[in-house]
Amino acid sequence: MAADYAYVGFFLIVGVLFVILNIEIISRIIRPHNPNPQKLTTYECGEEPIGTGWVRFHVRYYLYALVYIVFAVETVFLFPWAIVFQELGLFAFLEMMVFIGILLVGLAYAWKKGALEWA
């Protein structure tokens, strides 16, 4: 029993060392490293940057983006279901209606809380 855990621990240690070796050591050896002032400047579409880079965005934009991402990812689950819709039967149809209902409840909640108001 303990030998099984030893195998898992061994492979965990080897995996961590492999990642550290590749990311930290080998990447430092093979990457080019010749910084100069021109490379260290901020590049914005060929223009010299004006002002500070710390621009504060309203949290509403983040909420809008998160709601969009959640619904975009969830609708990806509709495509495989739609392809095999005929073979699945009534039970799968009801399951998908429950899934869509949960999405609509989330949309109604976000709408009620004002997360979808752009400005």
Rounded to two decimals, the pTM is 0.47
Residue 74 belongs to a domain: yes
Residue 69 belongs to a domain: yes
Residue 32 belongs to a domain: no
Using the predicted structure, report yes or no on whether residue 39 has a pLDDT greater than 80: no
Using the predicted structure, report yes or no on whether residue 108 has a pLDDT greater than 80: yes
Q: Cα dist. 29→24, 32, 53, 83 in Å?
A: 9, 8, 32, 49
Residue 20 belongs to a domain: no
Domain count, the chain: 1
In terms of average pLDDT, the best of 5-9, 52-56, 78-82, 109-113 is: 5-9
Smallest CA-to-CA distance from 67 within 112, 37, 17, 26 is with 112
Mean pLDDT, residues 89-97 taken together: 88
Question: Residue 88: which CATH number?
Answer: 1.20.58.1610
* pLDDT classification of 15: cutoffs 50, 70, 90: very high
Smallest CA-to-CA distance from 54 within 37, 42, 66 is with 42
Q: What is the pLDDT of residues 51-88, one digit of tens each?
A: 776 777 777 778 778 888 888 888 888 888 888 888 88
Range of the domain at 69: 59-113
